[in-house]
């Protein structure tokens, strides 16, 4: 109860901040703003802020669905800037949350229908140009925008920030529950909205550790399931995310990007869920929103402004540095190096935590933006409960760029187990900063039977200084996730390698 009260207080503070960011347009502004009720899918009332540029029009239209647990005013600053630049903008609270009607459908068909209904209303009640329609959003709003582009061919451009293309690959990576993420999303959903039937089904699966139905529901709620439709419609798709997004990690965006055959852009920089673009939503200077503006100017207005001229893939190292541009995702990797792992058998006593872990959702990525990285000393990792393998120190400054791949043979003593693979940048003084990681759960195994494992870690771009080394740690418990590895069981790792991409 105490935790719920604290959460409610935090959300209330967010609400007050958002309201403060959404004042009426000044008399001398180049636009007007108004609070409106828009009939959504099935007539459900959706509350919205509508920004209309002054003038005859028609004006390009951008629809912005609100993030999970937030509402229309989260985009107040960005929407005002777009309106000043001659865009009609409709930012609305997603159904089931705050002032909108209905129930939380977790990006279900009613949510996709809502986006189309908001477009219908905008075309009927504003001077919006039906040939120039875009959708933009953060997190939940990003996912709904991508789904909207898959189902409504009127949407010609999208900017999806800190979003998802595949929910199973985000919240259930390699059959591993993201414990902190699930608890966070479900908790704030109850505080800020009205859960629907599918929401409660997913919640029950989370609480009871059964995920078959939840995974089925999640699979149809991601744009990755509709790539053929998107490629046929050919909207311009911009994807932007933080390297350490703890809710929607980068690999699922990369997979989606590589399958798209449309005008596209992919950007990664330091940050966690929603943090790289958060200030821009309030109207403050922000790289992601600047690129979003250029994206819509290019693909809605036809302005040749150089967006993407240097390459559709834009990457900034997670530990600081400038942007690098590439013609494709794979082009960032200039070479790979295969590091053999210990040839013998390493038996880990499972179910016991070590000092190695992936940090705290949101906090770890936000700290990385400030140059503060999750740090351990590998020498302090208990070898009874983990494998630790140190690679040779590099002789010159280099960049890890892409997704490292772990290959090994895993033999559990029980029917299920979980491992966590962490890659660290270890300095000569023995302190090591987390570069990337990945969880993996094995369910329904035959105890004692070896299982060959090929496991890509989450992709990263990371500057590795001269004299530093990469250190791999594999253990079986991480507080961010739900482990299936029980105490009194063992997990044996035999041989293998770690292949590291360098740029």
Question: What tens digit of pLDDT does each residue of 289-299 get?
Answer: 999 999 999 99
Q: CATH 2.60.120.260 in the chain, residues?
A: 335-502
pLDDT (0 to 100) of residue 26: 58
Q: How far apart are CA 434 and CA 76, in angstroms?
A: 35
Radius of gyration of the chain, Cα coordinates, nearest whole angstrom: 23
SS3 48: strand
289's enclosing H/E stretch is helix 287-299
Task: Give per-residue pLDDT as tens, 457-493.
Answer: 999 999 999 999 999 999 999 999 999 999 999 999 9
Cα four-point dihedral sign 60, 66, 67, 70:
positive
**pLDDT score at 27:** 59
Instruction: Spell out the residues 6+ positions from residue 129 whose beta carbon is closer than 8 angstroms to its own.
Output: 57, 58, 59, 60, 61
Q: What is the rounded CA–CA span in Å between residue 473 and residue 385?
A: 10
Tokens standing for residue 442 = 């094995």
pLDDT digits (tens, 9 = 90+) for 189-206: 999 999 999 999 999 988
Binned at pLDDT 50, 70 and 90, residue 273 comes out as: very high
Range(s) for CATH 3.40.50.1820 in the chain?
A: 2-8+29-331
Give the Cα separation of 80 and 83 in Å (integer). Answer: 5
By 3-state DSSP, what share of the chain in percent is helix, strand and coil, each rounded to 5?
30, 30, 40
Which residues have CB under 8 Å from 216's CB, separation 6+?
Answer: none
The whole-number pLDDT of residue 214 equals 84
> How far apart, in Å, are the Cα atoms of 201 and each of 36, 71, 173, 174, 339?
32, 24, 19, 21, 44
Cα 245 to Cα 38, 181, 366, 382: the distances in Å are: 32, 11, 10, 28
Distance CA 321, CA 302 (A): 31
User: What is the 3-class SS of 338-367, one letter each residue?
Assistant: EEECCCCEEEEECCCCCCCCCCCCCHHHHH
Confidence of residue 387 (pLDDT cuts 50, 70, 90): very high
Tell me how far apart the alpha carbons of residues 298 and 156 are, in angstroms, rounded to a whole number: 11
Residues 6+ apart with CB under 8 A from 473: 354, 356, 378, 381, 386, 387, 388, 421, 422, 424
Summarize pLDDT for 236-248 with one digit per residue, the tens: 999 999 999 999 9
The Cα–Cα gap between 253 and 423 comes to 21
Asked if CATH classification 3.30.70.1290 holds for the domain at 335-502, the reply, yes or no, is no
Residue 109 above 70 pLDDT? yes
Query: How far is 22 from 80, CA to CA, in rounded Å?
Result: 9
**Hey, which CATH number is domain 2-8+29-331, 3.40.50.1370, 3.30.200.20, 3.40.50.150, 3.40.50.1820?**
3.40.50.1820
Instruction: Check residue 258 and give its pLDDT.
Output: 98
Pairwise CA distance, residues 179 & 6, whole Å: 19
- pLDDT at position 146 is 98
Query: Would the pLDDT of 9 be above 60?
Result: no
Q: How many angstroms separate the CA atoms of 84 and 181, rounded?
A: 37
pLDDT for position 210: 85
Average pLDDT for residues 81-103, to the nearest whole number? Answer: 98
Question: For residue 213, what pLDDT is reported?
Answer: 86
Using CA atoms, how far apart are residues 459 and 315, in angstroms rounded to an integer? 11
Its pTM stands at 0.94
Q: What residues does 338 pair with on adjacent strands?
A: 499
Region class of 271: left (phi > 0), else alpha (psi between -120 and 50), else beta: left
Q: In this structure, what token pair is assigned to residue 433?
A: 């900063």
How many whole angstroms from its chain centre is CA 455? 20
Torsion sign over Cα 343, 347, 351, 357: negative
């Amino acid at each position: 109860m105490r935790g719920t009260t604290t959460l409610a207080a935090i959300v209330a503070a967010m609400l007050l901040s958002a309201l403060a960011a959404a004042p009426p347009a000044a008399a001398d502004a180049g636009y007007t703003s108004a609070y409106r009720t828009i009939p959504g899918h099935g007539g459900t009332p959706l509350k919205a802020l509508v920004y209309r540029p002054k003038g005859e029009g028609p004006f390009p239209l951008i629809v912005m669905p609100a993030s999970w647990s937030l509402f229309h005013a989260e985009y107040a600053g960005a929407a005002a800037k777009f309106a000043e630049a001659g865009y009609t903008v409709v930012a609305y609270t997603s159904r089931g949350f705050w002032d909108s009607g209905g129930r939380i459908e977790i990006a279900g068909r009613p949510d996709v229908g809502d986006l189309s209904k908001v477009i219908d209303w905008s075309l009927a009640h504003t001077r919006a140009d039906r040939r120039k329609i875009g959708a933009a959003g953060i997190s939940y709003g990003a996912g709904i925008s991508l789904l909207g582009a898959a189902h409504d061919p009127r949407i010609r451009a999208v900017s999806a920030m800190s979003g998802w293309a595949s929910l199973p690959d985000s919240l259930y990576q390699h059959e591993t529950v993201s414990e902190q993420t699930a608890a966070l999303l479900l908790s704030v959903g109850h505080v800020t909205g009205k859960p629907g039937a599918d929401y409660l089904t997913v919640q029950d699966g989370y609480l009871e550790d059964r995920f078959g139905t939840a995974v089925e529901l999640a699979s149809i709620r991601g744009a990755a399931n509709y790539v053929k439709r998107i490629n046929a419609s050919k909207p311009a798709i911009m994807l932007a995310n933080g390297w350490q997004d703890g809710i929607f990690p980068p690999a699922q965006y990369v997979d989606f990007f590589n399958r798209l055959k449309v005008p596209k852009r992919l950007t990664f920089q330091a940050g966690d869920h929603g943090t790289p673009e958060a200030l821009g939503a309030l109207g403050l200077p922000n790289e992601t929103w600047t690129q979003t503006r250029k994206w819509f100017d290019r693909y809605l207005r036809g302005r040749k402004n150089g967006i993407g001229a240097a390459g559709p893939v834009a990457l900034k190292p997670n530990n600081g540095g400038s942007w690098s541009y590439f013609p494709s995702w794979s082009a960032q990797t200039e070479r790979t190096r295969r590091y053999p792992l210990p040839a013998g058998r390493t038996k880990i006593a499972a179910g016991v935590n070590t000092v190695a872990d992936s940090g705290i959702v949101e906090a770890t990525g936000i700290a990385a933006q400030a140059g503060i990285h999750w740090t351990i000393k590998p020498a302090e990792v208990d070898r009874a409960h983990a494998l630790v393998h140190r690679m040779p120190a590099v002789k010159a400054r280099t960049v890890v760029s892409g997704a490292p791949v772990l290959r090994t043979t895993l033999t559990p003593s029980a029917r299920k187990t979980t491992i966590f693979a962490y890659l660290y940048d270890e300095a000569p003084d023995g302190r090591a900063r987390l570069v990337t990681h990945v969880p993996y759960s094995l369910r329904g195994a035959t105890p004692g039977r070896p299982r060959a494992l090929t496991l890509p870690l989450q992709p990263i771009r990371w500057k590795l200084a001269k004299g530093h080394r990469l250190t791999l740690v594999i253990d079986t418990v991480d507080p961010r996730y739900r482990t299936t590895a029980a105490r009194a069981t063992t997990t044996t790792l035999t041989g293998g390698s770690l292949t590291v991409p360098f740029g």
